[in-house]
């Protein structure tokens, strides 16, 4: 007797609801609208929505529902895995060319976090940043990621005339206005560099990685001791830019 796949009809019906909500995003969907979209009874929709709300897959907004935080988290982890797959080979090549550890970073709120690193064989050069977060406004990769936001968004987050709390002494972006000035230059240059702004004795360079729409979704970063790497920052940024463009092309073709 041939094997037939076991179908979870309850799961399929829940997915139909989630897909209908996602398709209408960001407009909240009411029970009646979802009943029409899925050809189901309102009572069935109501029970399913309660279950999906309890599990964080949907979120109540007014009289309707939108996609929930748990679903966004799943999507984020999935996309980050895709990013790492697309970037790993290029990062390995950069390690060979630059002789330094190379990092792939993304923005989480106002923090930049490393989701993957490739290091040289000589371990003393490897800086362990996996999973570590850092303020975006004072790091090269964070500034690259922030450069994907409109100035109006940045001004709401970092008011131009207000001092940024916690900015270290060597940080060039102590106010929102200074941050926007630096970010405008990053948009022109296509890369960002820092010299001891985040940590004394440390320098870094970063470039953006874009998705199929041109949005900045990640940054490629190298950080190393100033004495060893300061004179190599801009050449490194240019090499990383070539690799980032190839990663972007890989993300486009995988859509």
Complete domains list, the chain, with CATH: 9-67 (1.10.10.10), 72-253 (3.30.450.40)
CA–CA distance, 246 with 209 (Å, rounded to integer): 9
In angstroms, how far is the first alpha carbon of the chain from the final one? 38
Task: Phi first, then psi: give them for residue 89, nearest 5 degrees.
Answer: -65, -45
Q: Write out the chain's pLDDT in tens, 255 residues.
A: 445 444 446 788 899 999 999 888 778 899 999 999 999 999 999 999 999 999 889 999 889 999 888 887 787 778 888 899 999 999 999 999 999 999 999 988 788 999 999 998 765 444 556 667 889 999 999 999 999 999 999 999 999 999 999 999 999 999 999 999 999 999 999 999 999 999 999 999 999 999 988 999 999 999 999 999 999 999 999 999 999 999 999 988 876
Contacts of 175 (CB under 8 A, 6+ apart): 158, 160, 161, 162, 163, 164
Residue 5: what pLDDT?
46
Q: Are 170 and 198 in contact (CB under 8 A)?
A: no
Residue 4: what pLDDT?
47
Bridge partners, 149 (sequence order): none
CA–CA distance, 188 with 173 (Å, rounded to integer): 18
Residue 78: what pLDDT?
82
- The distance between the two most distant Cα atoms of the chain, rounded to a whole number of Å, is 74
């Amino acid at each position: 007797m041939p094997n037939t796949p076991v179908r979870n009809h309850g799961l399929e019906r829940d997915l139909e609801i989630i897909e209908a909500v996602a398709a209408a995003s960001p407009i909240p969907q009411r029970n009646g609208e979802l009943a029409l979209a899925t050809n189901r009874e309102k009572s069935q929709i109501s029970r399913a929505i309660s279950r999906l709300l309890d599990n964080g897959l949907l979120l109540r907004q007014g009289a309707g529902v939108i996609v929930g935080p748990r679903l966004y988290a799943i999507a984020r982890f999935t996309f980050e895995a895709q990013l790492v797959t697309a970037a790993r080979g290029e990062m390995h090549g950069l390690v060979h060319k630059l002789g330094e550890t190379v990092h792939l970073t993304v923005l989480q709120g106002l923090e930049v976090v490393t989701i993957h690193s490739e290091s040289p064989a000589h371990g003393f050069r490897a800086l362990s940043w996996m999973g570590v977060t850092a303020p975006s406004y004072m790091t090269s990769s964070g500034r690259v990621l922030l450069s994907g936001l409109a100035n109006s968004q940045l001004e709401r987050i970092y008011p131009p005339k207000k001092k940024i709390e916690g900015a270290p002494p060597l940080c060039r972006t102590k106010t929102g206005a200074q941050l926007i000035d630096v970010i405008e230059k990053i948009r022109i240059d296509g890369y960002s560099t820092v010299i001891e702004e985040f940590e004394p004795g440390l320098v870094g360079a970063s470039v953006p990685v874009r998705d199929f729409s041109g949005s900045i979704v990640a940054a490629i970063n190298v950080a190393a001791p100033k004495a060893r790497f300061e004179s190599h920052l801009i050449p490194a940024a240019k090499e990383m830019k070539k690799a980032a463009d190839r990663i972007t092309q890989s993300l486009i073709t995988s859509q």
